[in-house]
């Protein structure tokens, strides 16, 4: 009789759980936008249109695949973060001592040293900087030194496409640089460099994780 009682209890609990799970699933389905809705929101945000329903269906499938990749990546990074040990007291202490030797904050824009963040841009007249493959700042700096200066954005605007070098505009130099140097590895050296002047940072942007990035702190592999 005891066995029968336990079996009935288990069956009852299973039925209750099953009903709750179906209800929760229904609420989730109602609350979460469908792939089609999310794709439509993305199209609206980025002003994207397609020639016909077939093309839209093709790119909606790609959108769904990318969305799944992002969700899997987020779940993986959140799992890893939950498994990280608590930082030791010596870690925060050493960083505090390091930070004490430098300013609390540095705003190069406020000082007029650099502009606000903008798109990368590139040099039409520099054939050595691998501009179609991301580019390298050191070759760009060498171009500026070799040309004895560089034109301003207003003088020689960036258009985001292959164009013929306009030597006349390129020769209207707005500023010059005398040289540059690579910063040795390490947070200490990096903070010293930033405290003195702006720095150029290169990251590996060809990975799918980085190309799917939109906002917030990126915890994936950036090649550095």
The whole-angstrom separation of Cα 123 and Cα 145 is 14
139-144: long-range contacts at Cβ-Cβ below 8 A with a sequence spacing of 24 or more?
141/177, 141/180, 141/200, 144/176, 144/177
**The two three-digit tokens of residue 4, written as one number:** 């029968």
Rounded-to-integer distance, Cα 66 and Cα 60, Å? 10
**Cα 70 from Cα 74, distance rounded (Å):** 6
Residue whose entry in the numeric block shows the structure tokens 């390129």: 170
Both tokens assigned to 68: 């799944």
pLDDT string in tens for the chain (224-residue length): 444 444 444 444 444 445 444 444 444 443 456 888 888 888 898 888 899 999 999 998 988 888 888 777 766 655 455 444 444 333 333 344 444 567 777 887 888 777 766 655 666 667 666 666 666 788 888 888 888 888 887 888 777 667 778 888 888 888 888 888 888 888 888 888 888 888 888 777 777 777 777 777 777 766 65
Beta strands per DSSP E along 53-175: 150-151, 173-175
Q: Residue 124: how many CA atoms within 13 Å on its side-chain side? A: 18
The domain locations on the chain are: 35-79, 117-180, 182-224
């Amino acid at each position: 009789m005891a066995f029968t009682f336990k079996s009935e209890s288990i069956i009852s609990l299973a039925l209750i759980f099953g009903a709750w799970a179906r209800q929760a699933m229904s609420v989730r389905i109602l609350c979460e936008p469908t792939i089609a809705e999310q794709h439509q929101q993305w199209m609206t945000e980025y002003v994207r249109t397609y020639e016909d329903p077939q093309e839209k269906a093709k790119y909606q499938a790609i959108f769904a695949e990318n969305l799944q990749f992002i969700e899997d990546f987020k779940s993986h990074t959140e799992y890893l973060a939950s498994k990280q040990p608590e930082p030791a007291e010596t870690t925060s202490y050493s960083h505090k001592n390091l930070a004490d030797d430098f300013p609390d904050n540095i705003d190069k824009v406020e000082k007029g040293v650099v502009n606000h963040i903008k798109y990368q841009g590139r040099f039409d007249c520099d054939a050595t900087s691998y501009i179609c493959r991301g580019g390298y700042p050191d070759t760009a700096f060498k171009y500026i030194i070799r040309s004895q200066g560089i034109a301003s954005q207003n003088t020689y605007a960036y258009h985001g496409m292959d164009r013929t070098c306009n030597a006349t505009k390129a020769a209207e130099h707005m500023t010059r640089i005398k040289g540059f140097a690579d910063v040795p590895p390490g947070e200490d050296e990096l903070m010293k460099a930033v405290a003195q002047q702006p720095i150029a940072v290169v990251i590996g942007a060809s990975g799918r994780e980085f190309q799917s990035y939109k906002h917030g702190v990126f915890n994936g592999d950036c090649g550095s």
